[in-house]
Structure 1
Amino acid sequence: MHTFEIYEEYYDWTPLSSTSDARVHLLEYGGEDPPNVYQPKEPLVAKSYPDDVKSTRREYKRLLWMEMNKVNGVPKPVTLYEEDGAYMFYLALPGIDAGAFLKRQQPGTIISTLRQIGRYLSFLHKQNIDECPFIYSEDSIHTDLAFTHGDFNLSNVIVNENYITGSVDMGSVGVRDRYFDLAVMTLDIRKTLGSEYVQYFYEGYRIKDHFDAQKMEQFVRVVEA
């Protein structure tokens, strides 16, 4: 039995919403017998870009690289299935996306969560970039290079009972200016929660005291373009 057939037969598939062009499902083991080594008991995510097989391979390759380089707070890859298209499978991070979570929270919880999101991003940006093969910094605007997410918005951050468990949608991770991620999240917080909440994200990142407002607006224009 092929890998994909195992997942089809033994797991219950639940469609998940996605902000990208990907088709995403949550897989939960539903077989009568205990799963074997090839059938993880933990919930999985199956993800595919139906019209772009290369994007599926691209994201899975980045998950593998992050696993080999011990990057925490990102999905753990399980397998890539390629036949008449492509599906990548990874262990699901526990929780829900921060956008959905924060919309129903009181201001105190919103503030503490945004600080945690800032700390998480700061941690991600501290990963060693010396051997990273994924480079996005050809433009001269990228001067403060870091290991970045590439699409760091609230929907791609996972929250479980007020704690950040990680981030998803890792197809664009790589080396670029740290202000790119900061600008993406800044715009999303402004749109989703209000501009008054952005400062708490900066506090968590610990950039508030040496914040470059001119550079931020420059990257906001890049992201909006």
Structure 2
Amino acid sequence: MNLRDRLHRLIGRDAVWSADHEGASGTALRVTSGSEVFYVKHGPLAQAEHLRLRWLRGRVPVPEVVAFEDPVLVLADVGAPSLETAAPADMGSVLGRTLRVLHELPVAECPFDGRLPVVLERTDANVRDSLVDPDDFDDDHQGLTSEAIQERLLATRPPVEDLVVAHGDYTPSNVLLPASGEPVVIDVPALGVADRYRDLAIAHRDLSEDHGPEVWEKFLSAYGLVDDLDEERLYYYRLLDELL
């Protein structure tokens, strides 16, 4: 049975498909069939996410994989809003605690490589193939070219990496908060062994800009990093994210 037939059997031929949902990125479709909800992802990142979800299962809470046939991934709906939507008073604390759990996973057991040699090759390819949109750069990077950012990344590359199992796109919208139970981590195609600042930089950008310094301080306290924050690495990995 091919995937189309499996999908029809699973969700019904009268299912409602929609790209209009929280966190819609153009590669994830929300599918409603009766009382059931699924998310269907497709494209080159679907296989990467499928492999990582399989590895994470039993280590941290993640969505259930309902079906996979490259390049299509079907996930069960967690039935919970993201931290971004729920906006709990303790958003920073929840986000910090959840990241600490992820970063405490044994690096030696993780088969996915997100270290700088691998990622800088990817950013170079993205620049070379014109896959970067400078209009999406952060405000303080507006006016820079993608080539200029790549040159800066190579020139200021940190000499060491403090390796953890990193999410790769750790934002409040990528952590779901069920009414009961542990937070659920989603959207993990970039997960791999990398410097912890790859996640800290993105969390800092989103929390500081959208929710203020107090929420960021609560995040740091819950994560367990208050006095030794490396501002240079924080900036470097935010700059890196511009080309990913």
Q: Which category of TM-score, normalised to the shorter sequence, fits these structures?
A: 0.7 to 0.9
Instruction: Give the aligned residue type for 1:76.
Output: E
- Superposed, 1:2-151 pairs within 5 Å as 2-9=5-12, 12-13=15-16, 15=18, 16-27=21-32, 29-30=34-35, 43-49=36-42, 53-67=43-57, 70-82=58-70, 86-102=71-87, 109-110=88-89, 112-139=90-117, 141=158, 143-151=161-169
Give the corresponding residue for 1:165: 183
In the alignment, is the contact (CA less than 8 A) between 2:41 and 2:74 conserved in 1? Answer: no
Q: Which has the higher strand share?
A: 1
Give the corresponding residue for 1:40: none
Shift in Å, 1:14: 5.6
Give the corresponding residue for 2:148: none
In the alignment, is the contact (CA less than 8 A) between 2:45 and 2:189 conserved in 1? Answer: yes
Higher relative contact order (CA 8 A, sep 6+): 2
Normalising by structure 1, report the TM-score.
0.76
- 1:207–1:163 distance in 2 versus 1, CA, 3 Å: farther
Q: What is the aligned-residue identity percentage?
A: 22
Inter-partner Cα distance in structure 2 for 1:116 and 1:11:
38
Give the corresponding residue for 2:171: 153
- 1:98–1:163 distance in 2 versus 1, CA, 3 Å: farther
What RMSD in Å do the two structures reach over aligned CA positions? 2.5
Normalising by structure 2, report the TM-score.
0.71
- 1:46–1:87 distance in 2 versus 1, CA, 3 Å: farther
Inter-partner Cα distance in structure 1 for 2:69 and 2:14:
16
- 1:180–1:162 distance in 2 versus 1, CA, 3 Å: farther
* Secondary structure class of the residue paired with 2:44: helix
Inter-partner Cα distance in structure 1 for 2:74 and 2:32:
9
Residue number among 203, 206, 209 corresponding to 1:188 in the alignment: 206
Inter-partner Cα distance in structure 2 for 1:158 and 1:56:
19
Shift in Å, 1:177: 0.4
Aligned length: 198
Q: Structure 2: any 5+ residue segments left out of the alignment? A: 118-156
Instruction: Give the aligned residue type for 1:208.
Output: V
* Secondary structure class of the residue paired with 1:48: strand
In the alignment, is the contact (CA less than 8 A) between 1:147 and 1:176 conserved in 2? Answer: yes
Q: Which has the higher helix share?
A: 2
